[in-house]
Structure 1
Amino acid sequence: MVYTNLDVWVEARKLTNVLYTITKQFPKEEIYGLTNQMRRCAVSVPSNIAEGCGRQTTKETIHFLHIARGSLFELETQCYLALDQKYLNEKEFEELVGLIQSCKRLLNGFINYYKKMQA
């Protein structure tokens, strides 16, 4: 299975690129704070999907997919915090949360696929 062909990986990559574009407008004093943290979470999602696909066992793959899912939840919370601080406007917030929800759905489906293989 080539991970770069997976819808979940493609969508996670899209999320990461949109987030990078949006966070370029965050205050410069946040570059080592919320900006950096949000970018690291976003990068973690496709990276852990890729790493999971490179693992030898289904159990290891599922483990890394769960890490990717955790990063999505962490990023979602950070989007709320950025909205609270007025670093994101409503439109940007909705776009990011929509992409996060899409990634969650795809990732949950991918995890369930691997869990069925494990059974």
Structure 2
Amino acid sequence: MSNAKKEFLETLLQAGEQYAGLLLGKNGDPDQHIILRPGEAQAVNWDDARKFATDTGGELPTRREQALLFANSPEAFTPNWYWSGEQRSAGSAWFQGFDDGTQYWVFTDGKCRAVAVRRSVAI
């Protein structure tokens, strides 16, 4: 790792976090550095997953962020289903399989795993 990259990550990351990569902004939104917060919730419904993410200082990842996490940090996940922060409709939300990258929806009372991400605007 180059010194510049090491210095950048030292200023960006907090204890236990993992850098996932840069997500390009859409529709005028800024680019974002996506940072995986430490910890994981297991077998939680969507509301409890959102609470877990908030309690750890982050948010549930969006579907685009989950795709980035699957591409850049698959070793950080068990091959299982993880909640996204995006609802499909009232009573259902999207989730992603970290075994093959499939994204699908399920009712929010279903049980999946959850992680939290933090975002930092890229300059």
More helix by share: 1
Q: Identify, as 1 or 2, the structure richer in strand.
A: 2
| TM-score w.r.t. length of structure 2 | 0.29
| TM-score (normalised: structure 1) | 0.29
